[in-house]
Structure 1
Amino acid sequence: MADRGVSALSLPDDWPAHPDLSLSLNRMGSFDWDLGSGLMHMDQAALDVFELARDEYLGRPEELAARVPTAEATRLDAMVSEALKNGSTTYGAYFRIRCRDGSLRWTHTQGFVRRDSSGRPHRIIGIVRDATQELSDATARLERDDARRRRTSVVESTTAALAHARTVQDVIDVLNDSHGLENLGATSLVMGLVESGRIHLVAEGPEDSFVPGTRYTRIDEQYPMSEVVRTLAPRFIESREDFAGSYPRLWPHISRLGITSAAYLPLIAQARPIGALGLLYSDRVGFTADERNVLIALGSSIAQSLQRAMLYEQDKDLAQGLQQAMLPRRIPAVPGAQIAVRYRSARLGRDIGGDWYDVILLPGGRVGAVIGDVQGHDTHAAAVMGQLRIVLRAYAAEGHSPATVMARASGFLHELDTERFATCTYAEADLTTGVIQLVRAGHIDPMVRHTDGSCRRVSVEGGLPLGLSVEFGRLDYPVTTIELDPGQTLLLCTDGLVEQPGADLDDGMQMLAALVRTGPSDLQQLADRLCEVVDERGGEDDVALLLLRRRGVDVPQGGGRLQQHVAQNDPEALSSARHMIRAAVRAWGAQDRADEIELAADELMTNALMHTDGGAVVTARVLTGDRRRLRVEVEDTSSALPRRREAGESGVSGRGLMLVDLLAVGWGVESRGSGKCVWCEFDIPDRFDRRA
């Protein structure tokens, strides 16, 4: 039945085609190579591949030398020999032949090796064919694949670079990079951001491509960036004519750049336009589907990076505002001292932290300097820092000793509803004598820069960080006393200035000492230099820095400072305190007023011992300035303030403060935490005054 169906059809006489015809029409020929005799028969189709006439080939392979270059022949011989030796049954290779016009053309051969019963090769039967079209198609396919890979790599490399962009300027720098336009294949680039109904042009390249009047444009104007923002769809301008006809206001200004096509992409984030990107080309016309898809993907990547950068900048502005609100608004002028303070936010992560500094004016010409660091880098750390700074300032201003200030601050932090702890160093400096009392709570050691520029680390015995000392019941904070000579500088900083990932803290302290040693002598310039190093290095921690320099000109060397404790019901201690006052007065050149000063000091001590349950601390010291004065202080633990009152004719008390008021040039009372300090001052002659 099938035979009847086939015979009924009208078929050509030469159907089906002979294999020789099929090979010939496809520019393929066959050969039969007898390895014993060395003869190789080639049919006419094979000779046509080699562009040989029948009489030019007599059956010897060496007769093909005119068509096969030597290098190609050597490679083919080696390949065939290897196939014969290793037992292969087939082989194949591409090689070039030289045409009659001298040009080279790719050819392909494939052979089948026939062997006898012992495996010895004796014959090769195969084909040769013109491979020009095949390789041309393969090359074109490879070129297309390579172009696709290049376009994809542009998106990947740009996305990778944008991953490190933290600000809008970083994104612009990536796009305006020296290789940016080259990688994108564009002649010029423009980018604008949507701001209050307008498009703000924030990037253009190259420099001479800016169009006057386009820095700010309305979204409803006839510009390509305005159009893509309105429509949320990309605009591909295929030719010069398309550009000139669609945007007649813009085209005259950019026609000099030789633009032939352009792609304008909306930058969309969270379903709303945040800007537009324009890529202008001078060496192409039109865009393929693949090219459009790649550019759309590029626009999406840039939009995400821009949104991330804008959110980061908003967070940064908020963080910096909060940080500045938590830090002191200004540093007070301190007589006898130069002070420089700096704060630098972290380069990585959120730009807010718990680092702080503070300068506190204290009674008696003293000053408190604080540097601290609350654990963490977030708004909670900043909030805790702000509360802790204010509380520590209040405790210091009340007149507590440095150790008490630190202990009370630790107790306050422990009572807060927080798991954060803080490290801190508090320094109380008497600028008249240069005596500095240092207390350290888990913080790094301070440093002192000498007048010759050398710098040393001050070893300060420390306690536990604030908050932890209460939890572990170790509220003792030892006090370390040092002397700061005129011209010397005390350096307090947080660990962000010295710590680096993978480096030892001691190495960081040595590096800081070297920077201080080689830094400028001017205090403000020195602070700037130290912060520049932090900015160059970057890091994950913020930095607070406080430099305090004692001024030798404004505050001459004081006469000294003497102190003694007088306990209740201890006549010997009271007598010893009187002797201390008299000896100090004589030693400081005020022997002419020794009786007056001793009497006033005795009245203050007696008043403290009579009206309080505890003892008293008597301090005598010299204040220098416009006038040289001797100051006597009596500190007790009672918060009841003394009052100057008139004594009756028969009264036995009430005359003490009247005597002090008559003898001294001034007296007063200062709060000292739960207690108080009553003081009086006397003018005394300069120690170099010959009349003294």
Structure 2
Amino acid sequence: MDDRVAGTPSLPDDWPAHPDLSLALNRMGSFDWDLDSGLLHMDEPALEVFDLRPGEYDKRPTSLALRVPADEAVRLDHLVSEALKGGRNDYGAYFRRTRSDGTLCWTHTQGFIRRDGTGRPRRIIGIVRDATQELADSTARRTVDEERRRRTSLVEGTTAALAHARTVQDVTDVLKNSQGLAHLGATSLVMGLLESGRIHLVADGPEGAYVPGTRFTRTDEDYPMSEVIRTLTPRFIESAEDFAASYPVLWPHISHLGITAAAYLPLIAQARPIGALGLLYGNKAGFTADERNLLVALGSSIAQSLQRAMLYEQEHDLAQGLQQAMLPRRIPEVAGAQVAFRYRSARLGRDIGGDWYDIIPLPNGRVGAVIGDVQGHDTHAAAVMGQLRIVLRAYAAEGHSPATVMARASVFLHELDTERFATCTYAEVDPTTGVLQLVRAGHVEPLVREADGSCRRLTTEGGLPLGLSAEFGQLEYPVNTVDLDPGQTVVLYTDGLVELPGEDFDEGMRLLTAMVSEGPQDLQRLADRLCEVVDERGGDDDVAVLLLRRSAAYPPHPGGRLQQHVAQNDPEALTSSRHMIRAAVRAWGAKDRADEVELAADELITNALIHTDGGAIVTIRMLTGSGRRLRVDVEDRSSALPRRRDAGDSGVSGRGLMLVDRLADTWGVESRGNGKSVWCEFVLPDRF
């Protein structure tokens, strides 16, 4: 009776197959190694693996030396010995074998160790099989994986490099210099940007590749870049014949370049075309699907970078125009002094900020030097800076003292509809006398470079930043008066020059002092050197620098004149006026009479402050004509004329005009519409 269940499909009589048949069909043989006798039995499939005939093998392992290289035999012996000594029950290994024709192939063996009751190994039973195809497939997989990783790395590396590109030229340079394009096999590239309906070629191929008349082309012309922009679809040209047939207008001009394939990609950003990229190949036929996907991915990354670069350039042009409009268009020449100025924008941001400089011509050869910094690095900071610069310039030109100029500028900034404050230094210089009156509003202290190159920090008193001093009602700004000798240089700067990333302020000041001291003697080259350091450091703040050097040989001009306002209850202004008079007398060659002039002027100023309700305006000037005369005028708002009187033996007043009469060669009083002026003159020798 047939015991097969009805409906069950019929099976072969030899099913299931014998294990020997399975091993043989899979090119796998077995072995049995008796360790006591040393005999190694291998069945026929095993001998076929080693490419041995039965007569060539005598069951001795040494017979396998014909097929197993010596270095592989040593490695296998070591592997088996370690398994036996280590108490393991199995081992496995890949090793190379030699065919009868001398070629090397890969073999895999797996052995099971049988031990007796004491744990001593007695036999090894196992298999051997041909592993050539297995390892070839594995190598192929590794090659494919490595190629995929390389392509992924290519996209990532190019994208990372493009992330640092700020301009269109930067993007082009990255693509031309990128090793990624070399890995892709491209010999060169062409790139065009869409501008007002035309394609502007911004990068072309190798030398001699430029086609005349293609610098600007229309999108409806028969060119590959025009086509991909119109269709928003990549175009892969797989042969020279394909190129010639598809673009008969262009091909005759580039056929000499040896192009065998090309890939043209539309550059799309925010769903609109901004340009096209073409990669040209000299030894390639066709593109695989992976290569096409890779190029499309690269095109997308390049398009995003180009859009950022184009937006940056637009903002940069706008910011640069605004910055230039806010800074002075030109700096006037200063008689008796050399001036150098520089502005460097921050490495990051919009290349715009609130730093500024200015030189303001003042009456009688004097000059105002300004350096300032409005809080922030944006267009608002630049706008505030422009307004503040103009206002400060106007106050100085009106003839106000440096302290008054700074106080009024602070009030203006406080009343402006802004939350910004500003630091500033204003220095009023007379190149003839070397008198420098300096006021600081929260700004860094200036430096002075001596004629011999040494440099020192000019320690001066200061007030609150502009805007803040008005808000807190502290508008008093100390005036610091110093003598600027011939050859000395005042270095005014903003804090971006000393604030180093990761360094403290004092360290930055030490470095700046060293740079100024060791820098070039030429003023323009020194300014360039300071800015080069800023560029190399790449700080996050913009920088303004203003250098002013008093000329070493500048003769006093005829009719020289200095003027200063001395307010009531302002001892600093009184001290400053004395300093101004002393410096002017020395500069004009009257140092032999310096004490007389200073004492007489001090008496006139004191009388004006004591006997009138307002302040006094002190003017010292050189008169020419019949001899050289130095004149001091002290003007006040009182119409009451002074008179000389005898103070008596016990009087404490009344001696002032007597002293002036004795010291000066002549003196007098002039009525003015809103007050009077008391003056005195001193005759000076013609030569000094």
Using structure 1 for the length normalisation, give the TM-score: 0.83
Cα shift readout 1:320-359 (whole Å, capped 9, x = no counterpart): 1111111122223333332222211112222111101111
* Structure 2 partner of 1:461: 461
Amino acid aligned to 2:90: T
C-alpha change, 1:159 and 1:567, in structure 2 (3 Å) is closer
Say which SS state the counterpart of residue 465 (structure 1) adopts.
coil
* Structure 1 partner of 2:686: 687
* Structure 2 partner of 1:315: 315
Q: For 1:38 and 1:531, how far apart are their aligned partners in 2?
A: 85
Q: For 1:222 and 1:679, how far apart are their aligned partners in 2?
A: 90
Say which SS state the counterpart of residue 145 (structure 2) adopts.
helix
Q: For 2:375 and 2:404, how far apart are their aligned partners in 1?
A: 22
Moved more, 498-507 or 537-546: 498-507
> By how many angstroms is 1:257 displaced?
2.8
Give runs of aligned pairs for residues 44-63 of structure 1, distance below 5 A.
44-63=44-63
Amino acid aligned to 1:316: H
Amino acid aligned to 2:285: V
Amino acid aligned to 2:84: L
> By how many angstroms is 1:609 displaced?
9.7
> By how many angstroms is 1:132 displaced?
1.1
Say which SS state the counterpart of residue 187 (structure 1) adopts.
strand
Is the Cα contact below 8 Å between 1:608 and 1:634 reproduced in 2? no
Amino acid aligned to 2:257: L
Q: For 2:568 and 2:253, how far apart are their aligned partners in 1?
A: 92
Is the Cα contact below 8 Å between 1:193 and 1:276 reproduced in 2? yes
Give runs of aligned pairs for residues 521-536 of structure 1, distance below 5 A.
521-536=521-536
C-alpha change, 1:624 and 1:357, in structure 2 (3 Å) is farther
C-alpha change, 1:623 and 1:257, in structure 2 (3 Å) is farther
Say which SS state the counterpart of residue 176 (structure 1) adopts.
helix
C-alpha change, 1:566 and 1:419, in structure 2 (3 Å) is closer
Q: For 1:633 and 1:270, how far apart are their aligned partners in 2?
A: 73
* Structure 1 partner of 2:659: none
Give runs of aligned pairs for residues 604-683 of structure 1, distance below 5 A.
613-622=613-622, 630=630, 632-636=632-636
Is the Cα contact below 8 Å between 1:589 and 1:684 reproduced in 2? no
* Structure 1 partner of 2:538: 538
Is the Cα contact below 8 Å between 1:371 and 1:545 reproduced in 2? yes
Q: For 1:682 and 1:63, how far apart are their aligned partners in 2?
A: 129
Amino acid aligned to 1:3: R
Q: For 1:253 and 1:94, how far apart are their aligned partners in 2?
A: 58
Number of corresponding residues: 639
Q: For 2:563 and 2:234, how far apart are their aligned partners in 1?
A: 83
> By how many angstroms is 1:37 displaced?
2.5
* Structure 1 partner of 2:87: 87
Q: For 1:450 and 1:676, how far apart are their aligned partners in 2?
A: 44
Structure 2: 5+ residue runs without aligned partners?
Answer: 640-665
Say which SS state the counterpart of residue 3 (structure 1) adopts.
coil
> By how many angstroms is 1:54 displaced?
0.8
Determine if the alignment matches structure 1 residue 283 to structure 2 residue 283.
yes
> By how many angstroms is 1:590 displaced?
13
Amino acid aligned to 1:301: S
Amino acid aligned to 2:319: A
* Structure 2 partner of 1:34: 34
Cα shift readout 1:215-271 (whole Å, capped 9, x = no counterpart): 222211111111111111111111222112111222233333322211111111111
* Structure 2 partner of 1:657: none
> By how many angstroms is 1:683 displaced?
11
Cα shift readout 1:589-615 (whole Å, capped 9, x = no counterpart): 999xx9xxx99x99x9999999x7324
Q: For 1:63 and 1:679, how far apart are their aligned partners in 2?
A: 131
C-alpha change, 1:6 and 1:567, in structure 2 (3 Å) is closer
Q: For 1:676 and 1:229, how far apart are their aligned partners in 2?
A: 81
* Structure 2 partner of 1:433: 433
> By how many angstroms is 1:556 displaced?
2.8
Is the Cα contact below 8 Å between 1:432 and 1:624 reproduced in 2? no
Cα shift readout 1:532-560 (whole Å, capped 9, x = no counterpart): 33223322111111122223444438999
> By how many angstroms is 1:633 displaced?
4.1
Moved more, 680-689 or 233-242: 680-689
Determine if the alignment matches structure 1 residue 165 to structure 2 residue 188.
no
C-alpha change, 1:233 and 1:679, in structure 2 (3 Å) is farther
Say which SS state the counterpart of residue 500 (structure 1) adopts.
coil
Q: For 1:525 and 1:442, how far apart are their aligned partners in 2?
A: 29
Q: For 1:303 and 1:248, how far apart are their aligned partners in 2?
A: 28
Is the Cα contact below 8 Å between 2:414 and 2:470 reproduced in 1? yes
Of all paired residues, the percent bearing the same amino acid is 70
> By how many angstroms is 1:378 displaced?
0.8
Determine if the alignment matches structure 1 residue 183 to structure 2 residue 183.
yes
Amino acid aligned to 1:216: F
> By how many angstroms is 1:565 displaced?
6.5
C-alpha change, 1:205 and 1:669, in structure 2 (3 Å) is farther
RMSD (Å) for aligned C-alpha atoms: 3.9
C-alpha change, 1:80 and 1:5, in structure 2 (3 Å) is farther
Is the Cα contact below 8 Å between 1:441 and 1:463 reproduced in 2? yes
Amino acid aligned to 2:549: R
> By how many angstroms is 1:629 displaced?
6.6
Cα shift readout 1:85-114 (whole Å, capped 9, x = no counterpart): 333333211110011111111111112223
> By how many angstroms is 1:6 displaced?
7.4
Say which SS state the counterpart of residue 109 (structure 2) adopts.
strand
Amino acid aligned to 1:512: L
C-alpha change, 1:43 and 1:520, in structure 2 (3 Å) is same
Determine if the alignment matches structure 1 residue 114 to structure 2 residue 102.
no
Using structure 2 for the length normalisation, give the TM-score: 0.84
Determine if the alignment matches structure 1 residue 125 to structure 2 residue 130.
no
Determine if the alignment matches structure 1 residue 206 to structure 2 residue 206.
yes
Q: For 1:354 and 1:262, how far apart are their aligned partners in 2?
A: 50
Amino acid aligned to 2:291: E
Say which SS state the counterpart of residue 373 (structure 1) adopts.
strand
Determine if the alignment matches structure 1 residue 64 to structure 2 residue 70.
no
C-alpha change, 1:3 and 1:445, in structure 2 (3 Å) is same
C-alpha change, 1:678 and 1:215, in structure 2 (3 Å) is farther
* Structure 1 partner of 2:645: none
Moved more, 153-162 or 515-524: 515-524
Moved more, 205-214 or 446-455: 205-214
Say which SS state the counterpart of residue 45 (structure 2) adopts.
helix
> By how many angstroms is 1:561 displaced?
7.5
Q: For 1:48 and 1:279, how far apart are their aligned partners in 2?
A: 53
Moved more, 48-57 or 251-260: 251-260
Give runs of aligned pairs for residues 11-410 of structure 1, distance below 5 A.
11-177=11-177, 179-410=179-410
Is the Cα contact below 8 Å between 2:224 and 2:235 reproduced in 1? yes
Structure 1: 5+ residue runs without aligned partners?
Answer: 641-662
* Structure 2 partner of 1:645: none
Is the Cα contact below 8 Å between 1:323 and 1:352 reproduced in 2? yes
